[in-house]
Structure 1
Amino acid sequence: MLALPFGSKATPVLKGEQVLLRLPASSDYHQWAALRHASRSFLEPWEPRWSVNELERSGWRQRLERNKADYKSGTGFGFLIFKVADGQLAGGLTIGNIRRGVAQSCQIGYWMGEAHAGRGYMLGALKLVIPYAFDELRLHRIEAACIPSNARSVRVLEKAGFAREGLARSYLRINGAWQDHFLYALVADDRFR
């Protein structure tokens, strides 16, 4: 369970009371594919259109290669979320599009398997990722976006302390259609207010 992927002892493992976040390993494929398959109708309205090989091992290998490249370049971390109680995969959370220089910011995206939704696991994951992004990665701003009708996503972002900053029209192509998104952000200084 705590095996570190990508052959590095420096890869992050974030552990809280309910959840553990770590980078994916090849051995996670079966659990990941089963959870995504079981949750397909639950996830599809909120995600980009699934590729033809979305749940195939070849798609998983491509995903791992992208995660590995992002990790090595410092532009992203694609975590899997596991329940501490039983080690079961519950979802995923990505810190992506890390920008340095004058921005010092990132964007987060996340998904939760249907059987695990509404149980506090994503809020627990966000509470681990927020200090990691600010304190370890030394970022100043974390951004997130969600479709206005995704009440669960709106709720979890607001519970985690994110502030709604506006609405971006036709922001992302989700499930084959351009969708408006609420834009949220959390700034490092917000934690001390």
Structure 2
Amino acid sequence: MFALDAEHSLRPVRRGDGAALARAYSSNREHLAPWEPLRDAEFFTVEWQEFHAEQCVIEASAGRNIRFVIESSDGEIRGRINLNNIVRGAFWSADLGYWVDRTRLRRGLASRGVRRVAAYARDDVRLHRLQAATLLHNADSQHVLASTGFERIGIAPQYLRIAGEWQDHVLFQLLLDEPLSAPRERP
């Protein structure tokens, strides 16, 4: 577990997180809808989220994905940060994804969490590179990535099916064999 501030910590998803994940996704359903794939009603159930938590534990032990939650001091889940699609061989890379609870925006949680997960990816998972993608109009997420040392590397047309439509994304990368950058001030 890693402290993000006095009230929030970052830890891997674990068995038993289903109820807290269901509450987090249900309370953020409208907030996340423009940024995520379409979700059916089952996704928001405790049962589905507990199954997902179990899969997260299995995938982490196999080294395929490592998924974290941002947890507040009251034990509620206030966001997610994921290392997805971990590839070894000649690549040593993963995709980074994240979201923060609508009530916790603009507190620096995403930036601190992304920095911490990037350090973990470098030091513990021993990855060389992280990639992240944002919708073209997601300026807040692009700011998080830029402020944590990611560099913009291009546009991927129709990259992901988000909110029911294939949408273009801005791609970013962070090379982890370089020192992680210090936070930059927002203009």
Separation of aligned partners in 1, 2:54 and 2:120:
23
Q: Taking every aligned residue pair, what percent have the same amino acid on both sides?
A: 33
Structure 2 residue 183 is matched with structure 1 residue 187:
no
> Which residue matches 1:92?
80
**Alpha-carbon deviation of 1:121?**
0.7
Partner of 2:31: 42
**Hey, what's the Cα distance between the residues in 1 that align with 2:77 and 2:46?**
17
What do residues 46-72 of structure 1 show as CA deviations (whole Å, max 9, x unaligned)?
A: 001113301112211221232122112
The answer on 1:166 being equivalent to 2:140 is no
TM-score scaled by length of structure 1: 0.86
Aligned partners of 1:52, 1:189: CA distance in 2, in Å? 42
Residues 16 and 145 of structure 1: is their aligned pair in 2 closer, same or farther, counting only changes over 3 Å?
same
Contact 1:15 1:128 in 2 (8 A): no
Q: Unmatched 5+ residue regions in structure 2?
A: 182-187
Which amino acid in 1 is paired with 2:61? K
- The separation in 1 between residues aligned to 2:10 and 2:25, in whole angstroms, is 17
Aligned to 2:124: 136
- Partners of 2:158 and 2:167 within 8 A in 1: yes
**Structure-2 change in CA distance of 1:40 and 1:82 (3 Å):** same
The aligned residue for residue 10 of structure 1 is none
Residues 1:75 and 2:47 are matched in the alignment = no
- State the 1:86 CA deviation: 4.7
SS in structure 1 at match of 2:24: helix
**Quick check: 1:74–1:98 contact (8 Å CA) kept in 2?**
yes
Letter aligned with residue 166 of structure 2: W
Aligned pair count? Answer: 180
Q: What is the deviation of 1:144?
A: 0.4
Does residue 157 of structure 1 match 2:130? no
1:57 to 41, 46, 65: 46
Aligned CA-pair RMSD: 1.8
**Gap regions ≥5 residues in structure 1:** 1-12
| Cα drift, residue 182 of structure 1 | 0.4
* Match in the other structure for 1:114: 102
Say whether residues 1:28 and 2:32 are aligned partners: no
What is the deviation of 1:192? 6.5
Aligned letter for 1:123?
A: S
Cα 1:192–1:34 shift into 2, 3 Å = closer
- Cα 1:170–1:44, aligned 2, differ >3 Å: closer, same or farther? same
For the 8 Å contact 2:37–2:163, the answer to whether it is kept is: yes
Distance 1:97 1:192 in 2: 21
Q: Is the 8 A contact 2:131 2:172 kept in 1?
A: yes
